[in-house]
């Protein structure tokens, strides 16, 4: 019988990076597959809401899969915010982010392989970023033509800030914490709400890895450099804005909620122990000879 301990990686950092890679891979596999199905079928096999729901299911599945190993960040904006808050060591930030982007890239490869025939049929064999039969948006996010760069930047800051603001409270014991086993579906519902309300302008990436990984894939798979130069080099917005938004959302949580909560009460067993000690401070012990001896002070 195979000894599974042989296959266990001894480095905690490598284990965590593996988890972040697989978790982000699962997240993007759900989401981009739904996008490919909806796009190439001209919305006969799903609609825009289908994509939102698929990404949310992907978040939930990836969190259940990897939360016990790395915490299931799945997002460089989350990793950065957790580093600033002291929840994660700074040495984890770059490795986590790299493997999150790599996971998103490999998920895009898988989606392309699965939906290759449909993509080629839909696009007429021409892989483009613009036009009625463009297919680049199956993978990365792109803005509407009428949305300015500044407005789309604000869009991503608000969306990612809302994400961090809503998830940071889930394990706060001084407030109303969620049951640990229910945190993944709760986060999934939060992501679904953000996707349904803040994704019309520019796709609602709220995750640099979710956008950069697939964009790098389309660069290497035939869509060309236009995936980075289009819309006046818009590609930097879903990378920079979520990082800023996550930090702002975290500070809003600290200022308005975390620092305003009541102090935690001492544990109940500590109170009981203290009261017992107080009661026994001046108890006298009667020996067999009838002498009265005071107990030592606690």
Give the global pTM: 0.88
Q: Tell me the β-bridge partners of 286.
A: 292
Instruction: Look at residue 278 and tell me if it is in a domain.
Output: no
How far is 214 from 212, CA to CA, in rounded Å?
A: 6
Q: Is residue 177 a contact partner of residue 263, using CB atoms and an 8 Å limit?
A: no
What DSSP state is assigned to residue 294? Answer: E
Instruction: Look at residue 102 and tell me if it is in a domain.
Output: yes
**Domain extent for 184:** 9-257
Quote the pLDDT of residue 51.
Answer: 97
Instruction: Look at residue 69 and tell me if it is in a domain.
Output: yes
The full 3-state SS of 153-172, as one line of letters, equals: HHHHHHHHHHHHHHHCCCCC
CATH of the domain at 36: 1.20.1080.10
Instruction: Look at residue 233 and tell me if it is in a domain.
Output: yes
Number of domains in the chain: 1
pLDDT 10s per residue in the chain (298 long)? Answer: 556 778 889 999 999 999 999 999 999 999 999 999 999 999 999 999 999 999 999 999 999 999 999 999 999 999 999 999 999 999 999 999 999 999 999 999 999 999 999 999 999 999 999 999 999 999 999 999 999 999 999 999 999 999 999 999 999 999 999 999 999 999 999 999 999 999 999 999 999 999 999 999 999 999 999 999 999 999 999 999 999 999 999 999 999 999 999 987 765 554 444 444 444 444 454 444 445 444 444 3
3-class SS of residue 217: helix
Per residue in 141-196, pLDDT (tens digit) is 999 999 999 999 999 999 999 999 999 999 999 999 999 999 999 999 999 999 99
Q: Helix 149-167 and helix 76-84: axis angle, to 10°?
A: 60
């Amino acid at each position: 019988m195979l000894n599974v301990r042989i296959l266990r990686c001894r480095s905690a950092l490598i284990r965590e990076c593996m988890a972040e890679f697989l978790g982000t891979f699962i997240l993007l596999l759900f989401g981009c597959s739904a996008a490919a199905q909806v796009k190439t079928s001209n919305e006969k096999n799903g609609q825009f809401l289908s994509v939102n729901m698929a990404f949310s299911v992907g978040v939930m599945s990836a969190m259940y899969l990897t939360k016990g190993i790395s915490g299931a960040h799945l997002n460089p904006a989350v990793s950065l915010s957790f580093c600033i808050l002291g929840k994660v060591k700074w040495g984890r930030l770059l490795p986590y982010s790299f493997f999150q982007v790599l996971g998103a890239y490999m998920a895009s490869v898988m989606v392309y392989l699965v939906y290759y025939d449909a993509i080629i049929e839909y696009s007429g064999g021409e892989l483009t970023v613009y036009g009625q039969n463009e297919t680049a948006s199956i993978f990365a996010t792109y803005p509407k033509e009428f949305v300015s760069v500044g407005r789309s930047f604000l869009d991503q800051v608000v969306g990612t800030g809302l994400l961090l603001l809503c998830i940071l409270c889930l394990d706060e014991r001084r407030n109303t914490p969620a049951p640990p086993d229910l945190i993944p579906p709760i986060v999934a519902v939060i992501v679904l709400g953000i996707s349904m309300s803040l994704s019309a302008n520019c796709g609602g990436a709220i995750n640099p890895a979710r956008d950069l990984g697939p964009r790098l894939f389309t660069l290497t798979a035939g869509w060309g450099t236009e995936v980075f130069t289009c819309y006046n080099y818009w590609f930097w917005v879903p990378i920079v804005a979520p990082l800023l938004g996550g930090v702002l959302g975290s500070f809003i949580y600290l200022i308005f909620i975390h620092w305003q909560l009541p102090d935690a009460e001492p544990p109940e067993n500590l109170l009981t122990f203290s009261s017992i000690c107080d009661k026994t401070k001046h108890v006298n012990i009667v020996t067999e000879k009838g002498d009265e001896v005071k107990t030592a002070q606690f």
